[in-house]
Amino acid sequence: MTTVKPILLAEDNPRDAELAMAAMEEHHIADKVVVCRDGAEVLDYLYCRGTFSSRQQGNPAVVFLDLKMPKVDGLEVLKTIKSDVNLKPIPVVMLTSSREECDLSQSYALGANAYVVKPVEFHQFITAVKELGVFWGVINEPPPEGSDQRGRVPASV
């Protein structure tokens, strides 16, 4: 039996978070969308710390990560995810308002799977989130947990 993994939405703007959640719920993209309001909260979720210490173990299907967040910024969160062997396989989609080339380049250099600039127009934003959720949360087949990026399971010692 396949367990549907949650989608982790890292978004400090309450309006954007609410719109993204509404788009995913309306189109039944995920059974559960977890919203984190800052980078520290994202890391707490991923490492089952703090308010997330009793959550069920396992990685989310995808992390939609805002670039400019309080406490720990999106690039630092991305760097942490992609440098941890247990978190590295999680697809990370930068979902940001930044069109800065340096942000784009740095995101990909740190291992982002995609970089999407948030549309300003309401309906375009809803459509973009829906399509991202469908692809990354439903269609995409990530490597099994415990494997490297190429799907290989490390040999036991």
pLDDT single digits (tens) 4-49: 788 899 988 888 788 777 777 776 666 688 999 999 999 999 999 9
Work out whether the CA dihedral 144, 69, 22, 116 comes out positive or negative. negative
Rounded distance between C-alpha atoms, residue 153 and residue 150, angstroms: 9
Report all structural domains of the chain as residue ranges with CATH numbers, in order of start: 7-139 (3.40.50.2300)
Number of H helices, E strands in the chain: 5, 5
Q: Given a cut of 60, is residue 93 above it in pLDDT?
A: yes
Q: Given a cut of 70, is residue 91 above it in pLDDT?
A: yes
CA neighbours closer than 13 Å in the CB half-sphere of residue 6: 16
- Contact between 70 and 38 under an 8 Å Cβ cutoff? The reply is yes
pLDDT of residue 42: 97
Q: Quick check: pTM over 0.85?
A: no
pLDDT, tens digit (0-9, with 9 covering 90-100), for 46-74: 999 999 999 988 899 889 999 999 999 99
Give the lowest-confidence range in 36-40, 106-110, 115-119: 115-119
DSSP state for residue 50 in the 8-state scheme? G
5: left (phi over 0), alpha (psi -120 to 50) or beta: beta
Q: Which residue type does 39 have? A: G
